[in-house]
Structure 1
Amino acid sequence: MRGYWHFAAFSVVVSILTIYFKTNWFIVGFFLWLLYLYYYRKLGSIPIIMSIISFLFYWVYIPNIDVDMPRNDMISKETSHSGKITSPISLTSNKVEFLFQERQTQNKVSVIFFPDEKSSSKSFLKHTSIKHGAKCIVHGELELPEQTTNPGQFDFHTYLLKQGITHQIILQSFDDIECHGGSRLNQIFTLRDNLLNYVNDKYSKKTSSWLNALVLGDDSFISEQTVDLFQRWNLSHILAISGLHVGLVVALLYFLLIKLNILTKEKAKLIMIFFLPLYALLAGGEPSVWRASLSIMIFIILNKAKLKFNYTDVLSIVFLLFILFDKYIVYHVGFQLSFIVTFGLILSKNWIAQSNSSIFQLLQISFVSQMMILPLQLSYFSTFQPLSILLNVIVVPYFSIFVIPLMFIFLFLSPFPVSIVKFLDYFFVHIHSIFIHLVTLIDKHADYPWIIGNMPIVATVLYYVLFFMLMKYLQSANHPKAFTYGCSISLLIVCLAFRPYLSPIGTVTMLDIGQGDAFVIELPYRKGVIFVDAGANFTFNDFGSSDKVYKQIIKPYLYSRGINYIDAIFLSHEDIDHMGSVEYILRDMKVKEVIISDYYELDRQTVKLWKEYGTHIRRLNDKIDINGQVFQTIGPTKDMKSPNENSLILYTKFGGMSWLFTGDSGKDSENEIIDRYQNLAIDVLKVGHHGSRTSTSKIFVNQLDPSYALISVGKKNTYGHPSADVLEILEKEKVQLFRTDLDGAVQFRYKNTEGTFYKFLP
């Protein structure tokens, strides 16, 4: 099998894709490909047999998340669980978390404790003596995480299942867990925690945050703004310990052992074999660091055994071993990105080696790395920053040559006198601040991401075929054909970006944002994107708006739909649960105009801020045409002396149905509408004020005669919404009701004059 292990690895990839996408077409293509290779004698029988065996074994071995997904009726009612802790203890200022394996069922459970004002995370650890490998009795009810209720929203339940975690237990107090004992690995994890604390004490906050991230694999101390900046520019790989970091550690240690005549080369290699797993654990144990560590270990072992394997074989063997030891690792994003980038660079090594320019080689490496992860980037984040290829040429050398080596040196020099440590600290902070400021300036003036949405599997397969053909002809210096395939890739990406502009389907989506309203309207052929309200939660510190709803629900939905431009945002009134996310939308996206009523109270500071974002503010009291979609204002007709009663009430048509959006308007506003528009009839009613008894009178519903009603309301909210009176009125009038607390997001998809409602939750 020497020189052919990548065929076995590829067969496992086919098994992963077959399970993940639930289609047998990958199997058909795989066996036809093997038949072709065997028929034309391009591959011997042994590699083919090994590939088939690998495929069949891992096809059975790798878990199918949908099949294994637990249900509420499967949860044990037991409140006392015995077992052992199987993970390091994750400790933050406001949370303690670890994995616990039940002894009886062998299920893996996430155990979480949130300290109150009287306690702290550290005091909890001291009180309970929990540690890796400890045998414990946990008192608490097994539960499933909250279901995702919106398209594009992060699915925490599935995220846990992809780690083999079936349930979670939320501890209420110190007394809910009793532990004793521990494992030898706990000493390593304790050493890591001590190192993290030691670094925080020795260096300033800015220096220690980067040292902990780049040497010990803990980026939790880096500011949220910097993490967001690096994510936007596809630079997150810098923050994760990878082959570069491991290579530097090995080179430095090997240099010290040999050049200082401490050990012979043979003994130094033996030290490496034992040291690398230790460093992988100290560095957080992420897939990228284990991949690099295991690859070097295998190379050393093979070299000592005088066996010659190429790097592709070693990488393939490491890939197979990874999955063999942890079958859930295939769902880990870091595992996927680490291996696919490394594999792409190996395939491109001849092309990269052809260049005599170091700068051009860096550009080539950046190009291959970014192009290899593009489909995954779109699948997970729906966006891609094309200019990141160029920025990586600046950032990667800076971190590789300056920051990462310096962080390791800082760790070794930390016992030196305080004056030396402070000088080094000041030097790094000064230089690094300038560099981060430079990246921030680039972000401010050159941030033009492609927000495309998800990449279909057919397009993904076609993309990689085209990309591999591009690289093949680049390596053979056949530039005309390489140019043709490069253009084909560009055309494919452009077609993906233009999908919404070719679709005759329009949608109206009532997002589930809890106790608040947020409707997103997407006109057919992407003629326009319109919001009717964009609510948010409020913060308990100053009762201002929180960005939680925007970050977790609104933004992921917009990105999943390929939306980065909004034509208009209608705001019914000034309550946070209807307009709290507007500030964050304006900050991230281009919004043409915000439309409000004549009685919407808008302070000067807000007006100034919105205009700085380039958004026009329009007051509406009649009707408006937004790219062919006409909205008629039918309220408020006068100042009702109340923000709720002054809600902007809109009438429009979608899919042959007439719609009425009522904001938080109450019965007084409803009576005004009845008196003024006596012949008004609608098909779809957005129920006022989340179903409060102050709205939706019997006479109002009777006269409008809607067929459907939409209520945007928080699950188990403290207001008692929707009220029993409103529900009874709608039921007696035989109105079909959709509500976000039960149905999740509700979407109306229409084409021409026909449309259908869909619930996100079954």
Structure 2
Amino acid sequence: MGKDYWYIFALSATVSVITLSLNTYIVICLFFFWLLYVYVQKKISITLLISALLSFFFFYFYLPAPTTSTSEQVNESRSVFYGEIVSPIIETDKKIEFTFRDERTSEQIVIVYFVNDENELVEHHVGQLQYGAVCKIEASLSIPDGARNPYQFDYRLYLLKKAISYQIVIPTLEDITCKENQSLMQSIYSMRTYLLNKTESKLQTDTAAWLHALVLGHDGLLEQETIELFQRWSLSHILAISGLHIGIVVGIIYLVLVRFSITTKEKAQWIMMVFLPIYAILAGSQPSVWRASLMIVFVIFINKIKLKYNYTDILSIVFLLLIIIEKYIVYHIGFQLSFAVTFGLILSSKWIAEATSNMERVLQISFVSQMMILPLQIHYFSTFQPLSILLNVIVVPYFSLFVIPAMFIILLSIFLPTIVIELFEHIFLFIHQHFLHFIMIVDDKFNFPFIIGEIPISLVIIYYLLFVFLMISLEKRNQIKSFQYGMYVALFIIYLTIRPYFSPIGTVTMLDIGQGDAFVVELPYRKGVFIIDAGASFTFPDFEPSDRVYKQIIRPYLYGRGIHTIDAVFISHNDLDHDGSVRYIIEGFEVKEVIIGPYHDLDEQTKAEWKEANLPITYANFNERIIRNSQAFHVLSPEKDKHDDNENSLVLYTELGGKSWLFTGDIGKATERDIVKKFRNLRVDVLKVGHHGSNTSTDPHFFQEIAPSYALISAGVHNSYGHPTEEVLQTLSDEQVIILRTDLHGAVQYQFKKEQGIFNTFFK
């Protein structure tokens, strides 16, 4: 195939991936029309046209669909598995994880062991776990948990995209026995394990964490706060070994081998061609490492055989080679981001080359990189930090010129006397900790992200068309056109952030947070956003609230809906499963007001935190109508202090989408009877069943009086309380009520327009 056309085949494969992933044919149609157009314009031959079409159909049937699910049934009778470890061992302070290929079925299974601090046998057993080891595992097979809420990370789908359908959670490492299976790959991974252990024992934790991440592709020692800080500012590419790191590796090898006259330039090139694939494995075999390493290997090889080439062809060939060898790699986020950025930089190379200064060039590279991955970033994280372009201009040179070279120097120093290691570490940590402090200050003062939410494929296509026209105008130095398309891109991004304000659709969502309550109410045209309770799980053994529910369920949902401001948070009562995540919501979002019952017992620490945040606290009194953003909430309880948190729950009546709603917190039967005595004409369409379906709530008389059509129950799957109880379910069934339960249906959402609406469940 002639040069300059490989990108068409890469584009064919990309269109196939998009079609399989999104189950839409709009991209296929556009691709076919484009092929026909360039053929009519005589820019490609009929042979190339047919080849491109055949290429599309090949990849369409060759690549796996990401939504292919496995059977819900597992062979529970089977408890012994023989096979081979086929991945690096991921070891953190919380768990050990690796991929295992079962020799009977050839299925890949993810093996997980959650570390028990009291288990003294971990160190003894973990040494036998190596890539390529042949193992016997005695444990039960299970299906990984999937998402239960919109926008929640779907671990099951994540594994399916890696051709893994099942998992085994082993209670103790004594359940697994392995023996070495010598191979080249096993030797390389053993070297990686040796370097990880050696550096961790020789270096301070902070130094080892950065060396592991930037040289060996293992971020297990990095603090979670640091990882999230870099994610917020679109700096995650620095933590993942990529072209930047590989370029520095090549530079160091060339400097040492050639500049110091150890060998000739030609031999140094051969050494790099052999070393780079080995280093890609040492660095964890991440897609971005393979992309950068193979591109350099191709460039060196093509130069040696004196062929003409362009970087677009090389990138396309590497892209095609990787997805043919490992077809599931197309769903790896690192693969997608790496190729998108590199393709954008190659296409804009002429514009970047015309920069008049290094600062201008770095700014252009940062701009192109961020804009190329913007739709992907929004797809995966729902947010965009516009100031990240400027921060990248500072951070990328700092890591390129200081941190990454320092990591390689410190890696080599571990074989030198301790005093030398300590000297290098002291210099590095002194500078690096001050720089990280600078980033934290920027994060504290200037963290104003665009929370955009989900975007349809049609808008993604429009965005890339506008951006391509912008780059063409910049390369042609057409200032008027550049300004016009620049404005179009900016206005388009702004439009993405304000879309909810044009939507006539409102929603009421009962999130599935397990054994707890969390409701999100969104009014049409984004006239108001309200949260009614936001529970949390707790940590062992101190039973303090954990941020797991907030980070894994509540925050992704709010981000996915494009929500950045919450007009009011209603807290029914003081209980972890109803208010445990409120503190995290207040820290992460603009909350205008917290509304609680008159007998809600706030602790002094919470009062101090809310006062420091200048957060208004409103006490909702009995029979009061609270009106916020034209939405009225009628307080039906508590009338008096009942000296019990559950019975003092704030009970709210409101009307949304043509239906009346009653949110009851954890009130019991006595309070339910009191409510219908005080409000004799109370009728309700949708009832949030009290106390997760406990038999202490849902009095039959109360239920008959309010006569709901729908009953919402928030309860954890297989919860230890037995909620909802058979007694409550029987009461609901006797009245022929439609029951919607988070333990069975996942998240439950009511979508409405004006006075009409419909209920949808996450599990259909």
Residue 265 of structure 1 deviates from its aligned partner by 2.1
Give distance in 2, aligned partners of 1:251 and 1:570.
58
CA contact (8 A) 2:196 2:212 kept: yes
Closer, same or farther in 2 for the Cα pair 1:45/1:63, shift >3 Å? Answer: same
Q: Which residue of 1 aligns with 2:195?
A: 195
Q: Which residue of 1 aligns with 2:159?
A: 160
Deviations 1:493-540 (A, max 9, x none): 222222211111111111111111111000111100001111111222
Residue 459 of structure 1 deviates from its aligned partner by 0.5
What does 1:241-252 correspond to in 2, within 5 Å? 241-252=241-252
Q: Which residue of 2 aligns with 1:441?
A: 441
Deviations 1:220-240 (A, max 9, x none): 211111111111000011111
Deviations 1:265-287 (A, max 9, x none): 22221111111111111111111
Q: Aligned letter for 2:49?
A: I
Q: Which residue of 2 aligns with 1:580?
A: 580
Q: Aligned letter for 1:751?
A: K
CA contact (8 A) 1:685 1:706 kept: yes
Q: Aligned letter for 1:597?
A: G
After superposing the two structures, state which structure 1 stretch, 575-584 or 305-314, moved more. 305-314
Give distance in 1, aligned partners of 2:437 and 2:712.
47
CA contact (8 A) 1:131 1:182 kept: no
Give distance in 2, aligned partners of 1:92 and 1:388.
30
Of 743, 754, 757, which residue of structure 1 is paired with 2:756?
754
Q: Which residue of 2 aligns with 1:455?
A: 455
SS in 1 for 2:614: coil
What does 1:90-109 correspond to in 2, within 5 Å? 90-109=90-109
CA contact (8 A) 2:126 2:173 kept: no
Q: Aligned letter for 1:729?
A: T
Deviations 1:598-656 (A, max 9, x none): 10011232112012223100001111101111000010011111111111111111112
Q: Which residue of 1 aligns with 2:146?
A: 147
Residue 2 of structure 1 deviates from its aligned partner by 1.5
CA contact (8 A) 2:248 2:405 kept: yes
Closer, same or farther in 2 for the Cα pair 1:494/1:737, shift >3 Å? Answer: same
Q: Aligned letter for 1:63?
A: P
Residue 752 of structure 1 deviates from its aligned partner by 1.4
Deviations 1:678-722 (A, max 9, x none): 221111111111111111111111111111111111111111211
Give distance in 1, aligned partners of 2:259 and 2:396.
28
Closer, same or farther in 2 for the Cα pair 1:64/1:618, shift >3 Å? Answer: same
CA contact (8 A) 2:88 2:284 kept: no
Q: Aligned letter for 2:33?
A: L
Q: Which residue of 1 aligns with 2:24?
A: 23
Residue 216 of structure 1 deviates from its aligned partner by 1.3
Q: Which residue of 1 aligns with 2:597?
A: 597
Deviations 1:545-590 (A, max 9, x none): 1111100000000000000100001111101111011100000111
Give distance in 1, aligned partners of 2:174 and 2:425.
43
* 1:538 maps onto 2:538 in alignment: yes
Deviations 1:347-378 (A, max 9, x none): 11110111111111111000000000000000
Q: Which residue of 2 aligns with 1:649?
A: 651
* 1:673 maps onto 2:672 in alignment: no
After superposing the two structures, state which structure 1 stretch, 49-58 or 309-318, moved more. 49-58
What does 1:228-307 correspond to in 2, within 5 Å? 228-307=228-307
Q: Which residue of 2 aligns with 1:340?
A: 340
CA contact (8 A) 1:571 1:579 kept: yes
Give distance in 1, aligned partners of 2:561 and 2:26.
27
CA contact (8 A) 1:414 1:421 kept: yes
CA contact (8 A) 2:717 2:743 kept: yes
Q: Which residue of 1 aligns with 2:477?
A: 477
Give distance in 2, aligned partners of 1:102 and 1:257.
44
Residue 141 of structure 1 deviates from its aligned partner by 2.8
Q: Which residue of 2 aligns with 1:118?
A: 119
Q: Which residue of 2 aligns with 1:636?
A: 638
Closer, same or farther in 2 for the Cα pair 1:74/1:120, shift >3 Å? Answer: closer
Give distance in 2, aligned partners of 1:151 and 1:662.
24
CA contact (8 A) 1:295 1:314 kept: yes
Give distance in 2, aligned partners of 1:266 and 1:209.
36
* 1:352 maps onto 2:352 in alignment: yes
Closer, same or farther in 2 for the Cα pair 1:743/1:5, shift >3 Å? Answer: same
State TM-score, norm by structure 2: 0.97
Q: Which residue of 2 aligns with 1:717?
A: 719
Deviations 1:59-79 (A, max 9, x none): 11100122x311213657533
CA contact (8 A) 2:74 2:142 kept: no
After superposing the two structures, state which structure 1 stretch, 166-175 or 320-329, moved more. 166-175
CA contact (8 A) 1:91 1:121 kept: no
Q: Which residue of 1 aligns with 2:627?
A: 625
Q: Aligned letter for 1:58?
A: F
Q: Which residue of 2 aligns with 1:659?
A: 661
CA contact (8 A) 1:96 1:121 kept: no
Deviations 1:115-135 (A, max 9, x none): 432245433324xx3322233
Residue 46 of structure 1 deviates from its aligned partner by 4.5
After superposing the two structures, state which structure 1 stretch, 651-660 or 536-545, moved more. 536-545
Q: Aligned letter for 2:29?
A: V
Q: Which residue of 2 aligns with 1:381?
A: 381
Give distance in 1, aligned partners of 2:84 and 2:544.
43
Q: Which residue of 1 aligns with 2:62?
A: 61
Residue 89 of structure 1 deviates from its aligned partner by 1.9
Q: Which residue of 1 aligns with 2:557?
A: 557
CA contact (8 A) 1:95 1:121 kept: no
Give distance in 2, aligned partners of 1:3 and 1:121.
55
Closer, same or farther in 2 for the Cα pair 1:488/1:397, shift >3 Å? Answer: same
After superposing the two structures, state which structure 1 stretch, 656-665 or 409-418, moved more. 409-418
Q: Could you tell me which runs of 5 or more consecutive residues in structure 1 were left unpaired when the two chains were aligned.
A: none
Q: Aligned letter for 1:745?
A: A
Deviations 1:113-167 (A, max 9, x none): 22432245433324xx332223333333322112311111000010000111111
* 1:137 maps onto 2:136 in alignment: yes
Closer, same or farther in 2 for the Cα pair 1:202/1:137, shift >3 Å? Answer: closer
Q: Which residue of 2 aligns with 1:408?
A: 408
SS in 2 for 1:166: strand
* 1:310 maps onto 2:306 in alignment: no
Of 694, 697, 702, which residue of structure 2 is paired with 1:692?
694
CA contact (8 A) 2:512 2:714 kept: yes
State TM-score, norm by structure 1: 0.97
Q: CA RMSD in A?
A: 1.5
CA contact (8 A) 2:509 2:750 kept: yes
Q: Which residue of 1 aligns with 2:331?
A: 331
Q: How many residue pairs end up in the alignment?
A: 759
Of 709, 726, 729, which residue of structure 2 is paired with 1:727?
729
Closer, same or farther in 2 for the Cα pair 1:284/1:611, shift >3 Å? Answer: same
After superposing the two structures, state which structure 1 stretch, 669-678 or 75-84, moved more. 75-84
CA contact (8 A) 1:78 1:141 kept: yes
SS in 1 for 2:406: helix
Residue 25 of structure 1 deviates from its aligned partner by 2.9
Residue 4 of structure 1 deviates from its aligned partner by 1.7
Deviations 1:380-420 (A, max 9, x none): 00000000001111111111111111111222233233222
Give distance in 1, aligned partners of 2:725 and 2:743.
13
Give distance in 1, aligned partners of 2:737 and 2:410.
69
Give distance in 2, aligned partners of 1:735 and 1:34.
56
Q: Aligned letter for 1:132?
A: Y
Residue 26 of structure 1 deviates from its aligned partner by 2.4
What does 1:203-218 correspond to in 2, within 5 Å? 203-218=203-218
What does 1:389-428 correspond to in 2, within 5 Å? 389-428=389-428
Give distance in 2, aligned partners of 1:544 and 1:139.
34
SS in 2 for 1:595: strand
Give distance in 2, aligned partners of 1:120 and 1:284.
26
SS in 2 for 1:65: coil
Q: Could you tell me which runs of 5 or more consecutive residues in structure 2 were left unpaired when the two chains were aligned.
A: none
CA contact (8 A) 1:94 1:120 kept: no
Residue 329 of structure 1 deviates from its aligned partner by 0.4
Give distance in 2, aligned partners of 1:258 and 1:495.
53
Give distance in 1, aligned partners of 2:32 and 2:670.
70
Give distance in 2, aligned partners of 1:719 and 1:20.
39
SS in 2 for 1:465: helix
